[in-house]
């Protein structure tokens, strides 16, 4: 059964889906028609995410597919590529989920909930976890900042060399 991921109607004070910071340079497989390539996931949410793509930027509005492994099994979905520069990382490209099979949707929802409970989400936590201790939170922010800086430097170097 195919589930269409519906975009919520935005009200003035509608909360967006919590963003999950993806640790450990997790990879996903992307496909556009018959072309397959890898991307390093940056952020995920129930409505989409962002990744640094090995083939470089894809035109905004291009339709494709994503496949990623989670602790609950493989998740696959139809996606639409959005703008580059997602989350302040010049090489990161945003995407949104268009459709996902029910099995993948369940796996992805379980995965998102697990990551949120582990402290990787920007959603307010209901109870503190060991991973959200002040020291590890500060280190996580520092690591994220260093990755963003490295991506910016790489982007500017590739622009200068062209």
Q: What is the pLDDT of residue 109?
A: 92
Are residues 117 and 129 in contact, defined by beta-carbon separation less than 8 angstroms?
A: yes
Q: What is the pLDDT of residue 116?
A: 87
- In this predicted structure, the answer to whether residue 158 has a pLDDT above a threshold of 90 is no
What's the CATH code of the domain at 47? Answer: 2.40.10.220
- In this predicted structure, the answer to whether residue 17 has a pLDDT above a threshold of 60 is yes
Distance between CA 16 and CA 95 in Å, rounded? 15
- In this predicted structure, the answer to whether residue 68 has a pLDDT above a threshold of 80 is yes
**41-55, 95-109, 144-158: the lowest-pLDDT one:** 144-158
Which residues span the domain enclosing 58?
A: 2-161
**4-18, 68-82, 117-131: the lowest-pLDDT one:** 4-18
Are residues 112 and 69 in contact, defined by beta-carbon separation less than 8 angstroms?
A: no
Number of structural domains (the chain) is: 1
Distance between CA 13 and CA 30 in Å, rounded? 33
Q: Which residues make Cβ contacts (< 8 Å) with residue 78, sequence separation at least 6?
A: 63, 64, 65, 97, 98, 99, 100
């Amino acid at each position: 059964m195919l589930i269409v991921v519906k975009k919520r109607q935005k009200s003035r004070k509608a909360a967006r889906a919590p963003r999950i910071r993806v640790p450990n340079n997790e990879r996903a497989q992307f496909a556009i028609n018959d072309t397959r390539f890898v991307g390093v996931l940056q952020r995920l949410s129930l409505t989409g995410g962002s990744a640094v793509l090995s083939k470089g930027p894809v035109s905004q509005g291009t339709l494709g597919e994503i496949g990623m492994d989670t602790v609950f099994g493989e998740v696959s979905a139809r996606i639409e590529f959005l703008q580059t520069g997602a989350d302040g990382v010049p090489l990161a490209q945003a995407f949104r989920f268009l459709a996902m099979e029910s099995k993948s949707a369940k796996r992805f929802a379980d995965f998102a909930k697990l990551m949120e409970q582990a402290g990787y989400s920007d959603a307010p936590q209901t109870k503190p976890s060991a991973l959200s201790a002040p020291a590890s939170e500060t280190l996580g922010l520092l690591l994220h900042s260093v990755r963003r800086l490295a991506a910016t430097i790489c982007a500017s170097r590739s622009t200068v060399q062209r």
